[in-house]
Amino acid sequence: MYVVGHKIPDSDSICGAIALAYLKNQIGEAATAARLGELSPETAFILDKFGFEAPELKLSYAGENVYIVDHSEVTQAPDDIAQATIVGIVDHHKLGDLTTSTPLECWIRPVGCSNTIIKMMYDFYNVEIPKNIAGIMMCAILSDTVIFKSPTCTTADIKCVEALAEIAGIEDFKALGMEMFKVKSAVLGTPARDLVMRDFKDFNMNGNLVGIGQLEVIDLSVFDEIRADLEADIVKLKAEGNRHSVFLLLTDIMKEGSQILIASDDESLIERAYGVTPVEGKAWLDGVLSRKKQVVPPLQDAFA
Amino acid sequence: MYVVGHKIPDSDSICGAIALAYLKNQIGEAATAARLGELSPETAFILDKFGFEAPELKLSYAGENVYIVDHSEVTQAPDDIAQATIVGIVDHHKLGDLTTSTPLECWIRPVGCSNTIIKMMYDFYNVEIPKNIAGIMMCAILSDTVIFKSPTCTTADIKCVEALAEIAGIEDFKALGMEMFKVKSAVLGTPARDLVMRDFKDFNMNGNLVGIGQLEVIDLSVFDEIRADLEADIVKLKAEGNRHSVFLLLTDIMKEGSQILIASDDESLIERAYGVTPVEGKAWLDGVLSRKKQVVPPLQDAFA
Ligand SMILES: [Mn+2]
Ligand SMILES: [Mn+2]
């Protein structure tokens, strides 16, 4: 069995694949962690900190058993997922369009991070979490919940981080979280396309392909020199992928809001979805930190 | 929140809705059990035995929160499910085509019965199961697993029945299971259409609508007088519903196999799916007890 997260993997996808593969092996089911793309600087920082190698880069899964982490969407799955057998899904997003022809297990909960659910799985199977695995799970939760600031964060996530920090022997987990987000904020010198794609997800919205990227930083001023390049790049990306829209969220985790950069066949969607009028292809979405909870659902409703 | 199973509800759907609604209320989430159709004689027997009324018959769920039990298929959900918010799914089948626009919880496991998973939920939330609820949960598992004979039955189901029997104070649960299947075997005097629809599910197979009914009895001889009526009725049902195929499984739980009655635009599917050649629109499928595990997956592959 391969355990693999979504395309353009984030820390939740990578750390979750490692943590779940370890658990499966402990309960007698042979499993290998894999990934569908390059590590982000944040994820590389986490793995380095706790002494892990990157999981195997593997793009094709035809004929294999696959356990999916952190999504249930065809657009985010391996291209040949239809030729694989999905044996399980652990996720914390809306229910997507993956289907199977055989029974499977799904551990899906409305919490802030897949790793919070993987901790529940360790508890269910009564398996001890090794110190270094607790460390990467904790970091994934701090990343997905924006150090508990995201509206997606639940008390289950907070309790889980506290328990994992104890196992990992980390005294000040918030300081470690800020260190992570500083790594994430170092955007200068990186090509615009790499930044747009760093945390990018495609969605099928009422038959339209919609790509939404997100960059979470400590201060939006890091984008002042490169915003124009990012705007030009999402217009290109939209055309290349035959997408209806590409949006890029520039999220300020301290001010707790996001500037959305817009490339769309129908800009009025933004007004309908978020009640703000874009000016020159941009708008400020106050209080918006979560793509999953605050950006995708209203947009999906606007498309419906 | 309403807790509701599939169309043409079986005992798992009804008993599961009652058991899960009770659990949700115990953990502070107001929930009402509902149903999408009439009770089968087997389910009526179970509810009567343990002193329950039938859950509320409710067909429309627009604007409501809904917790789905025992499936994840659009064809088996309320007609207006797209106007409802699915807050959770508990199921033990293949992953179907229901999707959501918001995060939810899914407790899906490859076990023999949804009620086995609902027992896991009681354990997770540390809620005591009342005696009469343990009784109906136990009966649902005995029904879905054909008293442990079905290949879908797992050790989790068996352990769960043993624990529930103890709570319910039932000493000989296998005898109660046989009593249930005797109720199910009383088919004479019932109109053909009612029998065909008693445990009938529609599936979307590669874009084709395929209906599969199943009748589980202790001895197939009960069908000798009515088999011709059943054969004529599935031909009618296929035409009425614009279906590609309608199949009816006459399952002999003692001989452990099923006779399949066939009304299809393409009878060669049966040969491709099960390796047997139909004679006069019928075939014997030796060892086949489970629609979910032994009938649907090979058929889905034959359609693909
Ligand atoms: Mn995640
Ligand atoms: Mn069931």
pLDDT value, residue B65: 98
From the CA of A36, how far away is ligand 1's center (Å)?
Answer: 15
Confidence grade of residue A165 (pLDDT, cut at 50, 70, 90): very high
Angstroms from A96 CA to nearest CA on chain B: 5
pLDDT value, residue A101: 86
pLDDT value, residue B216: 95
Whether B265 is covered by a domain: the verdict is yes
Q: Which one, of B33, B132, B110, lies nearest residue A106 by Cα?
A: B110
| One domain for residues B36 and B154 | yes
What is the domain-level CATH number for residue A236?
3.10.310.20
Is some CB atom of chain B closer than 8 A to the CB atom of A97?
A: yes
pLDDT value, residue B32: 98
- For chain B, the distance separating the N- and C-terminal CA atoms, rounded to the nearest angstrom, is 37
pLDDT value, residue A292: 87
Cross-chain residue pair B92–A106, CB shorter than 8 Å:
no
pLDDT value, residue A135: 98
Query: Which chain A residues contact residue B100 at CB under 8 A?
Result: 94-95
> How many contacts (CB atoms, under 8 Å) link A and B?
82
pLDDT value, residue B109: 98
Is some CB atom of chain B closer than 8 A to the CB atom of A293?
A: yes
Question: What digits encode the pLDDT tens for the residues B119-171?
Answer: 999 999 999 999 999 999 999 999 999 999 999 999 999 999 999 999 999 99
Residues B9 and B1 sit within 8 Å (Cβ to Cβ): no
For an interface test with A, the pick among B67, B106, B107 (most A C-beta atoms closer than 10 Å) comes out as B106
Question: What digits encode the pLDDT tens for the residues B264-284?
Answer: 999 999 999 999 999 999 999
User: What mean pLDDT value characterizes chain B?
Assistant: 96
Q: Is the pLDDT of residue A175 over 90?
A: yes
pLDDT value, residue B152: 93
Query: Which chain A residues contact residue B113 at CB under 8 A?
Result: none
Concatenating the DSSP letter of every residue in chain B gives -EEE--SS--HHHHHHHHHHHHHHHHTT---EEEESSPPPHHHHHHHHHHT-PPPEE----TTSEEEEES---GGGS-TTGGGSEEEEEEE-SB--S---SSB-EEEE-SSS-HHHHHHHHHHHHT-PPPHHHHHHHHHHHHHHTTTTTSTT--HHHHHHHHHHHHHHT-S-HHHHHHHHHHHHH--TTS-HHHHHHTTEEEEEETTEEEEEEEEEES-GGGGTTTHHHHHHHHHHHHHHTT-SEEEEEEEETTTTEEEEEEEES-THHHHHHHS---BTTEEEEET---IIIIIHHHHHHHH-
Cross-chain residue pair B100–A103, CB shorter than 8 Å:
no
User: Which has more pLDDT, A192 or A188?
Assistant: A192
Domain count, chain B: 2
| One domain for residues A178 and A197 | no
Q: Tell me what the mean pLDDT of segment B247-260 comes to.
A: 96
User: What mean pLDDT value characterizes chain A?
Assistant: 96
| One domain for residues B299 and B205 | yes
For an interface test with B, the pick among A101, A117, A125, A154 (most B C-beta atoms closer than 10 Å) comes out as A101
Question: What digits encode the pLDDT tens for the residues B32-60?
Answer: 999 999 999 999 999 999 999 999 999 99
Cross-chain residue pair A108–B105, CB shorter than 8 Å:
yes
Q: Is the pLDDT of residue B245 over 90?
A: yes
CA neighbours closer than 13 Å in the CB half-sphere of residue B244: 16
Using the structure block, give the residue that is written with the tokens 């294999």: A64
Question: What digits encode the pLDDT tens for the residues A112-156?
Answer: 999 999 999 999 999 999 999 999 999 999 999 999 999 999 999
pLDDT value, residue A304: 87
Q: Is the pLDDT of residue B292 over 90?
A: no
Residue after which a domain boundary falls, among B139, B156, B182: B182
Q: Tell me what the mean pLDDT of segment B182-192 comes to.
A: 91
pLDDT value, residue B41: 93
Q: Which ligand is nearest to the CA of A141?
A: 1
| One domain for residues A95 and A116 | yes
Residues B125 and A125 sit within 8 Å (Cβ to Cβ): no
The pTM of this model reads 0.90
Q: Is the pLDDT of residue B29 over 90?
A: yes
pLDDT value, residue B304: 87
What is the domain-level CATH number for residue A34?
3.90.1640.10
Q: What is the rounded distance in angstroms from the CA atom of residue B290 to the CA atom of residue B282?
A: 18
Q: Is the pLDDT of residue B106 over 90?
A: yes
Q: Which one, of B155, B110, B117, lies nearest residue B5 by Cα?
A: B117
Domain residues for the domain of B287 are 192-303
Q: Out of B92, B94, B102, whose CB is closest to A100?
A: B94
| One domain for residues A6 and A119 | yes
Question: What digits encode the pLDDT tens for the residues B74-87?
Answer: 999 999 999 999 99
From the CA of B99, how far away is ligand 1's center (Å)?
Answer: 18
From the CA of B258, how far away is ligand 2's center (Å)?
Answer: 19
Cross-chain residue pair B101–A293, CB shorter than 8 Å:
no
Is some CB atom of chain B closer than 8 A to the CB atom of A62?
A: no
Q: What is the rounded distance in angstroms from the CA atom of residue B7 to the CA atom of residue A248?
A: 42
Residue after which a domain boundary falls, among A148, A182, A216: A182
Cross-chain residue pair B94–A105, CB shorter than 8 Å:
no
Residues B35 and B57 sit within 8 Å (Cβ to Cβ): yes
| One domain for residues B198 and B299 | yes
Confidence grade of residue A157 (pLDDT, cut at 50, 70, 90): very high
| One domain for residues A19 and A54 | yes
Q: Is the pLDDT of residue A33 over 90?
A: yes
Q: Tell me what the mean pLDDT of segment A192-211 comes to.
A: 94
Whether A116 is covered by a domain: the verdict is yes
Q: Is the pLDDT of residue A57 over 90?
A: yes
pLDDT value, residue B49: 97
pLDDT value, residue B21: 98
Whether A187 is covered by a domain: the verdict is no
| One domain for residues A196 and A157 | no
Q: Which ligand is nearest to the CA of B15?
A: 2
Q: What is the rounded distance in angstroms from the CA atom of residue B178 to the CA atom of residue B190?
A: 21
| One domain for residues A202 and A134 | no
| One domain for residues B251 and B127 | no
| One domain for residues B81 and B224 | no
Residue after which a domain boundary falls, among A124, A157, A182: A182
| One domain for residues A197 and A257 | yes
pLDDT value, residue A188: 87
